[in-house]
């Protein structure tokens, strides 16, 4: 998959794509249906996705609590798995935010990227002040020569599939409900960083990753499926992970610490993708380290049982 970040200077072969437009946070089933419509609208055109970095919500409210389900690199990995050939990841800045709906359609979609067809969700808004509507896009398409498809919102029996509903499920400790809407396990992806080595001292060496900037799932212990994406230990593993602040050791900054079953090796600097399968228990404090170790043994035994048939 090719990633293109400048709509003003692109090669001729990067024009003419059929593109789904949106933020695609989580790349859930609704997003996947929009991408499939783009694939089918112009079967002979390259399949593309246009998205924005940072997320517009981060740009306009930088001090708001973290809300993203995935970082940009994790989103790119998921889109590539769906067969997207061209990812137009446009920098969301003052210049882009200030474009009127017509200027966005003309300068970005038509003159800049030369898109042949675009697909957006029924709730899509664009242009300065989010003033552009899907019907505006249809009108601009007629005038400027690109096709437009408006995708209906995807619904389950109990809810609209949305990033908001997925965040709620994760906050409630319901990763399987989130996975039902995502079409895949919710994954936290990032580089393994140095920790305080407490897990190693306790007999449970963990791979530590930051969750800064991400919507935090319910704090506690999870059964997880882990993909090591690079390095000498690349592959898939089962494990147990703790998300939170480590109250037993008076931690303050939330992170995720993952213990890989039946693994021996150094993962520092590697990129991990940790899929949350089941919530096992909340964070706890213990009267002694022996009590903590006993509970960790029980957590791992339960996680092994769950992951034997996830």
Query: What average pLDDT does the structure give for the chain?
Result: 92
pLDDT in the model for residue 203: 62
pLDDT in the model for residue 70: 96
**Helices 163-171 and 175-182: angle between axes, nearest 10 degrees:** 160
Tokens of 40: 């089918």
pLDDT(154) > 80: no
pLDDT(240) > 60: yes
pLDDT in the model for residue 197: 57
pLDDT band at 153 (very low <50, low <70, confident <90, very high): confident
Q: Do residues 166 and 69 make contact, with C-beta atoms less than 8 angstroms apart?
A: yes
- Span 164-223, pLDDT tens digits: 999 999 999 999 999 999 999 999 999 999 766 555 555 678 999 999 999 999 999 999
pLDDT band at 291 (very low <50, low <70, confident <90, very high): confident
pLDDT(77) > 70: yes
Find the catalytic residue in 89, 252, 257, 283: 257
pLDDT band at 253 (very low <50, low <70, confident <90, very high): confident
pLDDT in the model for residue 289: 82
pLDDT(20) > 70: yes
- Span 33-56, pLDDT tens digits: 999 999 999 999 999 999 999 999
Q: Per DSSP, what are the bridge partners of residue 281? A: 221
pLDDT in the model for residue 199: 54
Q: Is 257 a catalytic residue?
A: yes
Cα(59)–Cα(78) distance, rounded to whole angstroms? 23
pLDDT in the model for residue 292: 85
pLDDT, average across residues 27-31: 94
pLDDT in the model for residue 247: 57
Three-state SS annotation for the chain? CEEECCCCCCCHHHCCCEEEECCCCCCCHHHHHHHHHHHHHCCCCCEEEEEEECCHHHHHCCCCCCCECCCHHHHHHHHHHCCCCEEEEEECCHHHHCCCHHHHHHHHHHHHCCCCEEEEECCCCECHHHCECHHHHHHHHHHHCCEEEEECCCECCCCECCHHHHHHHHHCCCHHHHHHHHCCCEEEEEECECCCCHHHHCCCCCEEEECCCECCCCCEEEEEEEEECCCCCCEEEEEEEEEECCHHHCCCCCEEEEEECCCCCCCCCCEEEEEEEEEEECCCCCCCHHHHHHHHHHHHHHHHHHHCCC
Q: By mean pLDDT, which of 99-108, 220-229, 239-248 is the weakest? A: 239-248
pLDDT in the model for residue 201: 54
Question: What's the predicted TM-score (pTM) here?
Answer: 0.90
pLDDT in the model for residue 242: 95
């Amino acid at each position: 998959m090719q990633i293109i970040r400048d709509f003003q200077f692109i090669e001729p072969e990067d024009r003419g794509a059929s593109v789904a437009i949106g933020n695609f946070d989580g790349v859930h089933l609704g997003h996947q249906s929009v991408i499939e419509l783009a694939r089918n609208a112009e079967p002979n055109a390259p399949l593309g996705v246009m998205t924005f970095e940072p997320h517009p919500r981060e740009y306009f409210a930088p001090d708001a609590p973290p809300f993203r389900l995935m970082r940009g690199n994790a989103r790119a990995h998921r889109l590539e798995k769906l067969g997207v050939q061209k990812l137009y990841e446009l920098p969301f800045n003052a210049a882009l935010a200030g474009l009127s709906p017509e200027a966005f359609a003309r300068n970005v979609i038509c003159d800049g990227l030369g898109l042949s067809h675009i697909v957006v969700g029924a709730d899509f808004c664009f242009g300065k002040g989010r003033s552009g509507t899907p019907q505006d896009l249809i009108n601009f398409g007629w005038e400027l020569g690109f096709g437009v498809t408006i995708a209906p919102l995807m619904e389950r029996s109990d809810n609209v599939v949305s990033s908001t509903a997925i965040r709620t499920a994760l906050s409630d400790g319901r990763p399987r409900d989130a996975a039902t809407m995502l079409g895949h396990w919710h994954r936290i992806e990032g580089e393994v960083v140095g920790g305080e080595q407490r897990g190693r001292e306790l007999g449970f060496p963990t791979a530590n990753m930051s969750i800064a900037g991400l919507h935090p799932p319910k704090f506690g212990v999870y059964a997880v499926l882990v993909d090591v994406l690079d390095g000498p230990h690349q592959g898939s593993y089962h494990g147990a992970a703790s998300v939170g602040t480590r109250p037993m050791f008076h931690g303050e900054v939330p992170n995720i610490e993952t213990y890989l079953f039946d693994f021996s090796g150094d993962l520092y600097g590697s990129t991990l993708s940790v899929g949350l399968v089941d919530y096992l228990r909340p964070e706890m404090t213990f009267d002694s380290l022996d009590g903590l170790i006993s509970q960790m043994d029980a957590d791992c035994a339960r996680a092994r049982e769950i992951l034997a048939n996830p």
